[in-house]
Structure 1
Amino acid sequence: MGCDGNRSMVRDRLGIGTEGLGDLVQSMSITLRCDIRDALRGRPLSFAWVRQAGINAFLSWSTDLTSVVLSIEYDPMDADDAVRFTPENCRSLAASCLGMPPDRIEVVDIHPWCLSSWYADSFRKGRVFLAGDAIHSTPPLGGFGANTGIHDVHNLVFKLVSVIKHNAPDSLLDLYEVERGPVVRLAVAQATARLAQRSDVQLPLEALQPVLDEETISMGYRYPILPDAWNVPNPIAVPPRDLHAEPGTRAPHVWLKRGGMRLSSLDLFGDGLVLLAGKDAADWCREAEASCSTRGVPMSCHVVGRDVEDPDAVFLAAYGISASGVVLVRADGFVLWKAVRTEAFRGADFLAALIDSREVRSE
């Protein structure tokens, strides 16, 4: 796995190119230690643009308001511009941007960086996979960079485990790019759209698209699930509140109880397949679990209302099933298949066909 950042040597050595707008703005990033509560004057801000004579800058800060990052545009080809970022000059620039005395500011670090917008042509070559900033670079607005990278790895690792440990076919790994590609492109486009709206960076018209809310982008995206894995959902993301455990979507969080201890439904995922069921599907679950066991496929079953409690009585509505319904969830917490009710077929027979053929669908 190549997770070596946006200047990925692994990507370059594999000969994998990039698509998108590319490098947009060269900046000098100055990390500061200072208390900015007086400068904010109680305003609930998380970042700020600074426009002064000779200064075009972006400010962001930590939640405790004691650490600040000041990013100032500069021209690396201009000799005078490139050498003006000494610690003393940076302290003066920060004082001007923050409106506070220089002696209250400590310069911690100074380094150049490039604001860019692109994604990789491919996420895999042979036995080598790319993830994180090695396959995408987003402007910082929206906070999609780290979230998207973590989701990349989560998606890829459960597939690797399935192939290496549980004899899943290698073709499962091809679905990494099929599933993550549209999500990565969405994150890059949405971060760039925010940049177009909130800055004076000159961008082409295709960057000027409607902005979705952050929760929809990070939590409401949908994967194409077999047998329609090559058909990208449209739209690729919807508000999470409108989702109810449809195949290809993130399994919803609901509070449950087990052994008197409170836990999230999300705490049940992460180790093989998980079958969540209404209280009237207990027998169906036992058949399904036995069927998986004989095929060496790890799966755990949880009957909500029996094995685990649903103290707020919200599970069935959140997952869009009846008391006899079941939802099959992958190790990465995404729904693989669900049946609103299970009276029409036997669990062992149906799940055997599902596992043996690798077909999944919603009934």
Structure 2
Amino acid sequence: MGGSLVGLSASLFLGRLGVGHLLVEKHASTSTHPRGRGNNLRTMELFRTAGVESAVREAASVLAGNHGILQAESLTGMDHHWLFREIDPGGAMSRFSPTGWCLCSQNDLEPVLLRTAQELGGELRFSTELISFEQDAEGVTAVVEHRESGRTSVVRADYLIAADGPRSSVRRRLGIGQTGRGELFHNVSITFRAKRLADVVGDRRFIACYLTNPAADGALLPVDNVEQWVFHAPWHPETGETLEDFTDERCAEHIRMATGVRDMEVEITGKAPWHAAERVAERYRDGRIFLAGDSAHEMSPTGAFGSNTGIQDAHNLVWKLAAVLAGWAGPGLLDTYGAERQPVAVATSARAAARSAEHSHPGYSAPPTTGRQSDVLAVAMGYRYASDAIHGADPATPVVPDRFTATGEPGSRAPHLWVDRDGTRMSTLDLYERTCVLLTGPEGAAWHGAALRVADRLDIPLAAYRLGPDPTHDLTPDPGTDWTELHGTTPQGAVLVRPDGFVAWRARGAEREPERVLTDVLQSVLCR
């Protein structure tokens, strides 16, 4: 349940894997408020594999030229500096990924996900609310109600994914507690029109500008770089301040003072409160019910980690559900969802809060921690898993490292490598979606043959590809690249990658009994 970014992404991923499902969302439509706009490299990789990257970029085209975070006392003064100017200066990230970061507001992204999920056969019902649910050993029975007509219906499903936001009714009904520091700060997001503001901003095409006027601070975000904008104003309910105090007149005057354009005409078009918090659910699973997105974790918005973490939750969970439902993985595989994603959320939420302090986010008074925070790439793509669905992960490796490295170690995201496949240039990441994949080098024929025999005998969907320098191999890497070095193996070795693109196991060289080894590994990783 839940038809926002995470629920819609789950529907998209389920549709791609051919899993029938029903999504219910209590609101009448997708989001109309421009928020949740930063989509990091890992999320864009998932959208690429799911076939929607180009549609997302088209929806995001109006903000394609916006980069960096600016901090200024006002837009009219000289006191300003860039917290960072470019997300990817010099295009260095292209070494690690076939795609790039994308600035696409939630109100533009959600319709793309909705349309594609429907095209893939998903049943998505808006203006529909989950009223009650019960689970048993065989599935979940839910009662849903159409909010306009009042009609109720009973739904029977194998599993329930609760992507119903930070105030999750499902989490509360299951009695699942939360850990973390709780609420950090509060803002009111104000949408407005101001035609003169674009002239004042000029060529400073920022993602956001933190305005630090002590009398009127806040964060300014462009919507169309012309006349539509968003302003995040600090809100202090702890002092008795209410949402009703944010009248249109007060908001307009606050924006004028913050920007330094005191005679600017401002038309307020909407207001929405939001709360920055650091909370993570104590568990992600209760029988046949799973938490995902904000129902599982809340984090400060700085760095756009929250929505990305939620979308990546959905991706981790969906392939496991598909594998269990299809019978090629054991039900124990579903326990690895929480074992993998909860530690990532704990580490990421802490990094998000630290980044808010480092950037002095308006409304957040916490002092910065000592030292520079880890690079965003490490948090976005460098996180590691250690669970029963990973064979050979080093338990001493931090969940989120200080710096990003692509090593091919078990538990890490598989490295990106450009290859030629039957005359088509593609990334190795494009191979990972529907099945496990075994990569072998030019001297890995024993592993390749064993993989085909094991997959047939165990009835497991497993794709096997040989990488080498000539067309006799399945995949030919770009000249000058070495897949063995990138994946941490040798020409005689092999790498097993899960459908979600994470390395499940790695053999550095040959083995005397490759078929037995692969059998044991696959049975273990798939919890059979």
User: TM-score surpassing 0.5?
Assistant: yes
Which shows bigger deviation, 96-105 or 148-157? 96-105
Does structure 2 retain, via aligned residues, the 8 Å contact 1:219–1:240? no
Pairing of 1:1-363 with structure 2 (within 5 A): 1-34=161-194, 36-43=197-204, 45-62=206-223, 64=225, 67-76=228-237, 82-100=243-261, 105-199=266-360, 201-203=364-366, 211-226=373-388, 232-238=395-401, 242-305=405-468, 306-314=473-481, 315-342=483-510, 344-358=511-525
Q: CA deviation at 1:261?
A: 1.3
1:172 maps to amino acid: L
Cα distance in 2 for residues equivalent to 1:136 and 1:209:
26
Contact 2:217 2:258 in 1 (8 A): no
Whether the aligned pair in 2 keeps the contact of 1:178 and 1:230 (CA below 8 Å) is no
SS at 2:167's partner residue?
Answer: coil
Q: Deviations over 1:222-245 (max 9, x none)?
A: 111447899844322236753321
Q: List gaps (5 residues or longer) in structure 2.
A: 1-160
Q: Which 4+ residue blocks in structure 1 deviate beyond 6 angstroms?
A: 77-80, 227-231
Residue type of the partner of 2:381?
Answer: M
Alignment partners' CA distance in 2, 1:120 and 1:76: 24
Contact 2:440 2:494 in 1 (8 A): yes
3-state DSSP class of the match of 2:416? coil
Distance (whole Å) between structure 2 residues aligned to residue 92 and residue 42 of structure 1: 24
Q: TM-score, normalised by structure 2?
A: 0.62
C-alpha spacing 1:80/1:346, structure 2 compared with 1 (3 Å):
closer
In structure 2, give the amino acid aligned to 1:32. Answer: F
8 Å CA contact 2:505, 2:521 repeated in 1: no
Q: Tell me by how many angstroms 1:347 deviates.
A: 2.7
Q: The residue matched to 2:478 in structure 1 has which SS?
A: coil
Structure 1: runs of 5+ lacking an equivalent? none
1:215 is paired with a residue whose SS is: helix
Deviations 1:181-212 (A, max 9, x none): 2111111000111122232734499x768611
- Indicate the residue corresponding to 2:14 in structure 1: none
Residues 285 and 107 of structure 1: CA distance in aligned 2, closer, same or farther (over 3 Å):
same
Give the direction of change, closer, same or farther, for the CA distance of 1:158–1:108 in structure 2 (3 Å limit).
Answer: same
1:193–1:208 contact (8 Å) kept in structure 2: no
- Structure 1: distance between partners of 2:272 and 2:220: 15
Q: Is the 8 A contact 2:437 2:499 kept in 1?
A: yes
TM-score, normalising length: structure 1: 0.88
Q: Counterpart of 2:21?
A: none
Compute the displacement of 1:160 (Å). Answer: 1.2
Aligned residue for 1:242, secondary structure, equals: coil
For 1:325, the aligned partner's letter is: G
> Post-superposition shift, 1:140?
0.9
Checking the alignment, whether the CA contact within 8 Å between 2:176 and 2:281 is kept in structure 1 is yes
Q: CA deviation at 1:355?
A: 2.8
Decide whether the 8 Å contact of 1:193 with 1:209 is kept in 2. Answer: no
